[in-house]
C-alpha cells in the first residue's frame, strides 16, 4: 500500500497578517505572502543613535533628520525600515555628516 503524507491545506495569503510596517502592509494588500522582516532591537538602537548624532552635528532637530530619512526610504517612520535596507540606511546617515575640517 502506497501511503503519502496528507498535504497541508492551501493557505490563503489574506489569512496571514504580516508584521507591522508600511511595506509589509502594502505587500499584504497586494496579496504577496512573504512578509517583510523589520529591524531587530540592536539595529534599531544603532539607527536611532545615528539619527541623534546627525541631528547634533548638523544642527537640525532629530525629527527633521528622521523625516528626511523616512522620505529617502519611502517609509512612514524609522521603525518601518525593512531589515534588508539597514546597510543602505547606515550609509545614508553617515553620508549626512559633514567632513571634518583639519585644525590649523
Locate the DSSP E strands across 47-100. none
pTM of the model: 0.65
**pLDDT for 62-87, tens place per residue?**
999 999 999 999 999 999 999 999 99
**pLDDT for 36-47, tens place per residue?**
899 999 999 999
- Confirm if 80 and 25 have CB atoms less than 8 A apart: no
Amino acid at each position: 500500500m502506497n501511503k503519502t503524507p496528507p498535504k497541508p491545506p492551501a493557505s490563503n495569503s489574506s489569512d496571514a497578517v504580516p508584521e507591522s510596517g508600511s511595506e509589509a502592509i502594502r505587500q499584504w494588500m497586494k496579496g504577496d505572502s512573504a512578509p517583510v522582516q523589520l529591524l531587530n532591537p540592536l539595529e534599531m538602537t544603532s539607527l536611532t543613535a545615528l539619527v541623534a548624532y546627525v541631528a547634533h552635528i548638523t544642527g537640525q532637530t532629530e525629527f527633521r533628520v528622521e523625516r528626511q530619512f523616512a522620505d529617502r526610504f519611502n517609509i512612514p517612520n524609522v521603525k518601518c525600515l525593512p531589515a534588508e535596507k539597514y546597510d543602505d540606511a547606515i550609509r545614508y546617515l553617515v553620508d549626512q555628516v559633514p567632513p571634518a575640517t583639519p585644525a590649523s
